[in-house]
Structure 1
Amino acid sequence: MKFGVHFLLPCGAGQTPAARYRDALAQGRLAEDLGFESVWPAEQHTIPSQSVLSCPTLFLAALAARTETILLGTAIVQLPLFHPLRVAEEICTLDVISGGRAELGVGRGTHPAHYAGFGADLAVSRGRLEEGLDYLRAALPGRPFDFQGSNYTAEAVQVVPGPVQPGGPVIRLAANSADSFRAAGRAGIPVLTALHINPPAVLVRHLDIYHAARAEAGHRAAAPDDITVLAPTFTARNEGEVARLMGPAVDHYTALMRTNLTTAIGRTGDPDGLFTRLLSGLDRLDLAAMRTEQAVFGTPETCAETLASLAARLGTGRFLAWFDFVGTTPAAEVERSMRLFAAEVAPRLATPAASSID
């Protein structure tokens, strides 16, 4: 199994954005030193309590200057908010700067505040996402291309600079709904999904849709590397430390999500029902419940058992650990958890021939 580190950057009490970025970049550098395969920051907009990370490619460019080998992926760029040519230019520039280490995670995004901030229409976002994916697949190899769609057109356009990687950076689609899994399957591209949004039983059903769509479209069967799972993660020496640090984190997460989801439902009426389902689930969410299905919290032994179960149930070969998911955990504790995970969790899931945690 390959392991990466995920970043969302809410500021903790009394923490400035500058301090939050400083800590996250240091943790990204530490991730490389510990042998993690990749780093994945998420794009968020206009809600500082949720995150101050609005430009993941800029964050990754700064990290590229501090690292040498770790893969640099976006998880995610909200593709319908931007012209896909601009997205292609940014990720190819990152690929050049980093010496061919860029990967492009894209998604639709569903928070109405993000769309309102850009004056964009959430109602047409799925069509823009799927057409944007087609555009990116034509653009990322770096050769001149033509494109004709409902939202975007191109005639002999070329991404400059072209990528270092032949064919361009890998595209991964964030998928947390049946429609997104189906779209990824039809396109034959890898998926990136979040355990805190869909528990394993739901993901099994969604992945069945993904596999069926791949087969129907004539694509090869998905490999473990095509399925990336992200989850809040914390590893500690004993259960007391898990409770001391993750109990307040889960409480803060629940309160933050309740506010954000209530606001989102008020703006849109929640036509897909996703926000309402997530909101109702918060009434039952505490540390014990989150550990059952939505997070990987525990001692090295219990974290390894949880990950082995996920790999078996979901067929995933890639896991992104979200070590500080709400900004309440001190940076020193986050780094201690990263070190323990790398030393005592990852090796339990590595093949005998593996020399590092990828």
Structure 2
Amino acid sequence: MRFSTFLNARCMGEEQDRDLLLDLVEHVERAEAAGFDAVFLPDHHFTGYMPMASDPMMFAAYLAARVKRMHFGFSVTTVPLHHPVRFVERVNILDQLTEGRLLVGVGSGTTPEEMIGFGVNYKEASRLAEENLAIAEQLWAKKAEEAPVTFDNGHYKGEVVQRIAPVAYTPGHARLMPVAMKESSARRAAQFGWPAFIPAFTPPQIGGTEPFKHVQKFFTIYRDLLLAAGHSAERVADALSWTTHTYQCVHIAETDEQARAELEEILTDYQAAVEREAAFNAKAEATEANKKTDRTPNALTDDWIGTWCLYGSPETVIEHLKPYQELGIGNVLCGLLTGPLTAKRKAYANQTMDYLSRVVMPALKGGA
């Protein structure tokens, strides 16, 4: 079982931007020293989510010069907001800089505020994601001497006469990671032999207290499609080893009671940050075209904690993760920085990282 850290911290104002960027660099270097397998970066804009998330590929390129063992992932790239040519070029550069240690999560996005900032109709996001990925595959495959690749999907258009430079380090191109929520996404990942993100809920409900039931359902669909796709044993093993279950907030303390109390403290600050952004979200959803169809539960509810949190003593966390390991989940993505990144929050993150590296990871890294 692999373990990865998720850079999902927030800041509460522009005066905190620089400190947060520097703190994230320190966190990633600490994570590599602690034995984490990868760092995953979000792709978010205008939301107060974090300054790094506005260009995670640029931040990953900086980190790639500082950490030499860990993989780099994106959870997830909002594909409709990226011109297909720029997306392919930047992925190839990162694939070269990381020598193939790249996992590009792809999705259609969830936030209308981000869509209007880039002039994208929220209701067209899913279509644009599918079409942009199809264009990207054409661009990755194109040789310099072949006929031009011409495209126009109503929002992005272009004509590539020669080829994308640089070429990818990975044969074909870097591994993409769809969210295996729809069968079409699971099938795409299986067809190409890519890993996938495995959801812990089934829409339209975003949350619940039985996450394993949903993980088991989506993982089984993806795994069966992957096994039926005719890949080599090595390709299948690699894909499954990075198949990812995400926890937005992971917190470990000496006892279950201490961990729960500290978790609620963390989530109180996190929810305050979410509510601070509510007025901006409402402005973005003023038009019917950009109205969201789902709502995420309050972070202090049992539904949110049950779906998105992993907490307790080291022993409790190990027992919680064993069924996921036995199922075949290859990578646990750990949100160690959830919420505003205060000095106390950083101390809690370091506390959890220490327990993970000393106790939890040695117990689970040996394989199911």
The TM-score range, normalised by the shorter chain, is 0.7 to 0.9
8 Å CA contact 2:140–2:173 kept in 1: the answer is yes
Cα distance in 1 between the residues matched to 2:292 and 2:216: 20
For the pair 1:250 / 2:250, whether they are aligned, the reply is no
Amino acid at match of 1:205: K
Amino acid at match of 1:224: L
- Aligned partner of 2:30 in structure 1 is 30
- Aligned partner of 1:319 in structure 2 is 332
Paired residue secondary structure (2:104): strand
For the pair 1:332 / 2:347, whether they are aligned, the reply is yes
Cα distance in 1 between the residues matched to 2:288 and 2:269: 25
Superposition RMSD on alpha carbons, in Å?
Answer: 3.4
Deviations 1:21-72 (A, max 9, x none): 1111111111111111111110110111x33221101111121121111112
8 Å CA contact 1:105–1:172 kept in 2: the answer is yes
Given candidates 296, 313, 320, the residue that maps to 1:299 is: 313
- Aligned partner of 1:158 in structure 2 is 163
8 Å CA contact 2:43–2:78 kept in 1: the answer is yes
Amino acid at match of 1:158: R
**Counterparts of residues 65-144 of structure 1 (less than 5 Å):** 65-140=65-140, 143-144=143-144
For the pair 1:64 / 2:83, whether they are aligned, the reply is no
Q: TM-score, normalised by structure 2?
A: 0.80
For the pair 1:191 / 2:196, whether they are aligned, the reply is yes
Deviates more, 1:266-275 or 1:52-61: 266-275
Structure 1 residue runs of 5 or longer lacking an equivalent are: none
Cα distance in 2 between the residues matched to 1:310 and 1:333: 25
Q: TM-score, normalised by structure 1?
A: 0.82
Q: Following TM superposition, by how much is the alpha carbon of 1:254 offset from its aligned partner in structure 2, in angstroms?
A: 3.8
Cα distance in 2 between the residues matched to 1:107 and 1:69: 26
Structure 2 residue runs of 5 or longer lacking an equivalent are: none
Cα distance in 2 between the residues matched to 1:84 and 1:55: 16
Paired residue secondary structure (2:197): strand
For the pair 1:344 / 2:335, whether they are aligned, the reply is no
In structure 2, the CA distance between the partners of 1:228 and 1:134, relative to structure 1 (3 Å rule), is: same
- Aligned partner of 1:17 in structure 2 is 17
Deviates more, 1:4-13 or 1:141-150: 141-150
Amino acid at match of 2:23: D
Deviations 1:279-307 (A, max 9, x none): xx43xx53765554421111111111122
Q: How many residues are matched?
A: 345
Give % identity: 23
8 Å CA contact 2:186–2:221 kept in 1: the answer is yes
Deviations 1:154-192 (A, max 9, x none): 444422122333333211123455664455456653212
8 Å CA contact 1:32–1:67 kept in 2: the answer is yes
Paired residue secondary structure (2:339): coil
